[in-house]
Structure 1
Amino acid sequence: MEPPIFEILACEPTELGILCLRRRELLCEPGTIVTEVTLDHEFLMSSYLTASEKALSEISLQMHSGSRLRVLVGGLGLGYTAWTAQESDQVSQCEVIEFLPQVLSWLEQGLVPLSDKLNADNRLKVTQGDIYQQLASPPEQKYDLILIDVDHSPDERLDKASGKFYTADGLQRAKLHLEADGILGVWSYAESSRFVDALHEVFREVRIEPVTVFNNLINVEQTDWLFFARD
């Protein structure tokens, strides 16, 4: 019997810790190959369960009735949020801001599952930068959708510097980057009452969507949380 596939595609030091990209065959589903990212040897994301990353785009697009939308995505990750936005006929342009240049390199080298599709779409612009710093600064342009998938949750962040974004003051600054009917969407693996309170303080409408899937790898149901807000 062939041993299961396990490859380390990249492993590099970053400002946030040791970042690794790996590809492996699932022992519980022989023949199923997944791509995973770890940070300091802790699991960060996977191509196996992507429902909530896709739903971040899907729900925000359902909420917005417009066309030729400009979308800003904070955090490239494995690309599922950006790709789902690009698949929509409503979207004319998608800009992704990714903090780690190593992740951008993975995309350029074709190491992530969606590389070919993302690199072939001329509506996509991917740049290295700090999404939180950009949203805290005066806007140079405005967007119809701003979708954030960077931290584990508003209360468990990869970098302490992002904390300001999750406050009423930070959200007020981020709101200036939205068009009048624009929507802010934020991904989280946990609920956060403090963040919800801040959203209500700044926005007229707040919507919270749990996304529950069965994780066959650990044999349990797991729920991610999506926060949406608009005026």
Structure 2
Amino acid sequence: MPARFEELDWRETPIGVISLRRRLDPMLGVQVHEVKLNDEYLMSSLFTAAEIALARIGLAQLSGTELDVVVGGLGLGYTARAALEDSRVRSLHVVEGLEQVVEWHENGLLPLGAELTADPRNHFVTGDFFAMALGERGFDPDAPGRRFDAVLVDIDHSPRHTLDSGHGGFYAPDGLRRLATHLQPRGVFALWSDDPPDEEFEAALAEVFTDVQDHSVFFDNPYGGPRKANTIYTARRAA
């Protein structure tokens, strides 16, 4: 029988203490993987609908084949796996700032780790997504300046509620313009947010991109109560 609670890893990082826990939920009768940063919950395997929707909604904006895609933020891997489920995806670069999270997948501590590491299209890139987005070299260490068909991001809680104050400039028009240089013409930028649609952020997107949309993703709370909602933003680089 699985243990009721296990702390699988605990590390000091530049942004605080990150820990990976696995617990057996007695109410739901399922194993739950959770990641905490200090005392704050970052992610849980109980709530993955919006992470999956980020990939599906983002890639649905593209009509082409042989797509080259970036995912910003590996986490538990649900966005990456959903992207790889799209047969049009030729390559996937998953940028993760914490090498510990990459190691959890590579060492089989997370349920999707074996699947992600076994897919030859998938490449883990350890580094600062925001520095890469704002820089000239971009997201592929082996091909500086490479452009992608889609960049899908799930790192901060929202454009207003960031994990690090240094991320704020990315969500302003100047930061979004830098990001756009890493997209192919008509390429798509998609962003997950825990907040309701934000008109100010959509206005910033509209200064840089075309076809700006917000998509509300509703999902059930497994413990009951009202349904929850996250927001997925999509925007397209001009031709």
Could you say what secondary structure the match of 1:57 adopts? helix
Could you say what secondary structure the match of 2:163 adopts? coil
- Find 1:203's aligned residue among 209, 218, 238: 209
- Find 1:105's aligned residue among 103, 119, 124: 103
- Find 1:158's aligned residue among 151, 158, 163: 163
CA offset digits 1:120-153 (Å, max 9, x no partner)? 0010000111111111112410000101100011
Q: Match for residue 85 of structure 1?
A: 83
Q: Match for residue 6 of structure 1?
A: 5
Shift of 1:11: 1.2
Aligned-partner Cα distance in 2 for 1:136–1:218: 41
Is the contact made by 2:74 and 2:94 (CA closer than 8 Å) also made in structure 1? yes
Is the contact made by 1:4 and 1:27 (CA closer than 8 Å) also made in structure 2? no
Name the % identity.
Answer: 40
- Find 2:229's aligned residue among 196, 207, 223: 223
Matches within 5 A, 1:45-124: 45-124=43-122
- Name segments (4+ residues, structure 1) moved above 6 Å: none
Could you say what secondary structure the match of 1:205 adopts? strand
| Count of paired positions | 229
Shift of 1:220: 3.3
Output the amino acid matched with 1:217. Answer: Y
The runs of 5 or more residues in structure 2 that have no matched partner are 139-144
Q: Match for residue 135 of structure 2?
A: 137
Q: Match for residue 172 of structure 2?
A: 167
Aligned-partner Cα distance in 1 for 2:182–2:229: 29
Could you say what secondary structure the match of 2:184 adopts? strand
- Find 1:148's aligned residue among 153, 157, 164: 153
Shift of 1:181: 1.4
The runs of 5 or more residues in structure 1 that have no matched partner are none
TM-score (ref. length: structure 1): 0.95
Which is further off, 41-50 or 172-181?
41-50
Q: Match for residue 29 of structure 1?
A: 28
Q: Match for residue 212 of structure 1?
A: 218
CA offset digits 1:170-212 (Å, max 9, x no partner)? 0011001100010000111003222111001111210101111
TM-score (ref. length: structure 2): 0.92
Shift of 1:18: 1.1
Could you say what secondary structure the match of 2:189 adopts? strand
Shift of 1:72: 0.6
Could you say what secondary structure the match of 1:226 adopts? strand
CA offset digits 1:94-116 (Å, max 9, x no partner)? 00110011111111111111011
Aligned-partner Cα distance in 1 for 2:111–2:146: 31
Q: Match for residue 195 of structure 2?
A: 190
Output the amino acid matched with 2:54. Answer: L
Aligned-partner Cα distance in 2 for 1:27–1:15: 34
CA offset digits 1:39-61 (Å, max 9, x no partner)? 11211101112111011110112
